[in-house]
């Protein structure tokens, strides 16, 4: 299995960000590279993992929108939107957009952290995972949650775990501290760590900065 750990800022979408800054261009390039690593393994299914998927999974016909960011744009999770389809949370929507942008048209499934283990057991063949989640939103005075001195060390510990392929460290992240620091990715990262517990991992940390006051780790894991 191959996992791409990607952040979930809507700024990844040009329609939201407008003209990119140099920092945003570097972030986008790292995310695109991580997604490509997953797709190079030719997975039969790509699982998009993110928070907000309470009570169900997402697939063809489901869709979401970016109206909360002043953009009149609706995006399908897979295929075309159908009447009565489920509304897709933002992390899964951005993950689907990343797959579309990379040219992936194969099967995909959206799940939440509590469902990852079951979903992986149910799926046949090689599986890829896009694990969507941000680090702390308290990395600077202008960050959404303002500055917290514990934010940078917390994000650094996440980056160290991702760089080392340390499943135990990822699974053991403190969910209470993650919530306090507005680190939306913690439930996702914990789920990946638990699902891959005990497996040898080939890891590559591609990016770990906070250009807009929010930690954005980008990494890939390949189980051996």
Tokens of 137: 């939103």
DSSP string of 48-106, one letter each residue? EE-TT-TT--B-TT-EEE-GGGT---EEESSSS--TTPPBPPHHHHHHHHHHHHTT--S
Question: What are 121-142's pLDDT values in tens digits?
Answer: 999 889 999 999 999 999 999 9
Question: What are 59-92's pLDDT values in tens digits?
Answer: 998 998 888 777 777 888 988 777 777 889 999 9
Please check the confidence at residue 20 and state whether its pLDDT lies above 80.
no
Please check the confidence at residue 221 and state whether its pLDDT lies above 90.
yes
User: What size, in residues, is the chain?
Assistant: 224
Tokens of 76: 């399908």
Beta bridge partners of 205: 219
Closest CA to 200 of 155, 163, 162, 167: 167
Question: What are 166-210's pLDDT values in tens digits?
Answer: 999 999 999 999 999 999 999 999 999 999 999 999 999 999 999
Q: How many CA atoms lie within 13 A of 79 on its CB side?
A: 12
Burial of residue 16, with CB atoms counted within 10 A of its CB: 0-12 exposed, 13-18 middle, 19 or more buried: middle
Burial of residue 75, with CB atoms counted within 10 A of its CB: 0-12 exposed, 13-18 middle, 19 or more buried: middle
Rounded (10°) angle between helices 90-101 and 22-40: 80
Q: Note the pLDDT of residue 217.
A: 98
Domain 2-223 class, CATH top level: alpha beta
Q: Note the pLDDT of residue 149.
A: 97
Q: Note the pLDDT of residue 83.
A: 74
Q: Among 4-18, 190-204, 210-224, which is the least confidently predicted range?
A: 4-18
Q: Note the pLDDT of residue 21.
A: 85
Please check the confidence at residue 146 and state whether its pLDDT lies above 80.
yes
The radius of gyration of the chain's CA atoms, rounded to the nearest angstrom, is 16
Q: Note the pLDDT of residue 13.
A: 86
Q: Structural domain boundaries of the chain?
A: 2-223
Question: What are 89-117's pLDDT values in tens digits?
Answer: 999 999 999 999 999 989 999 999 999 99
| Residue 109: other Cβ atoms inside 10 A | 22
Q: Note the pLDDT of residue 124.
A: 84
């Amino acid at each position: 299995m191959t996992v791409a750990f990607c952040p979930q800022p809507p700024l990844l979408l040009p329609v939201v960000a407008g003209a990119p800054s140099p920092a945003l261009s570097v972030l986008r390039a790292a995310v695109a590279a991580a997604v490509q690593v997953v797709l190079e393994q030719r997975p039969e299914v790509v699982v998009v993992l993110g928070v907000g998927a309470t009570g169900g999974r997402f697939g063809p016909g489901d869709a979401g929108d970016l109206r909360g960011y002043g953009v009149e744009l609706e995006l399908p999770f897979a295929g075309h939107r159908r009447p009565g389809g489920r509304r897709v949370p933002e992390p899964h929507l951005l993950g689907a957009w990343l797959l579309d942008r990379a040219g992936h048209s194969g099967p995909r499934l959206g799940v939440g952290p509590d469902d990852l283990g079951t979903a992986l057991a149910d799926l046949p063949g090689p599986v890829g995972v896009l694990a969507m989640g941000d680090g702390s939103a308290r990395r600077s005075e202008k960050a959404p949650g303002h500055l917290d001195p514990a934010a940078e060390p917390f994000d650094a510990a996440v980056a160290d775990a991702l760089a080392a392929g340390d499943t135990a460290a990822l699974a053991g992240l403190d969910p209470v501290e993650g919530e306090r620091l507005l680190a939306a990715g913690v439930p996702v990262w914990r789920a990946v760590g638990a699902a891959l517990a005990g497996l040898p991992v080939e890891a590559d940390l591609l990016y770990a900065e906070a250009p807009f006051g929010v930690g954005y780790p980008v990494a890939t894991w390949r189980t051996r």
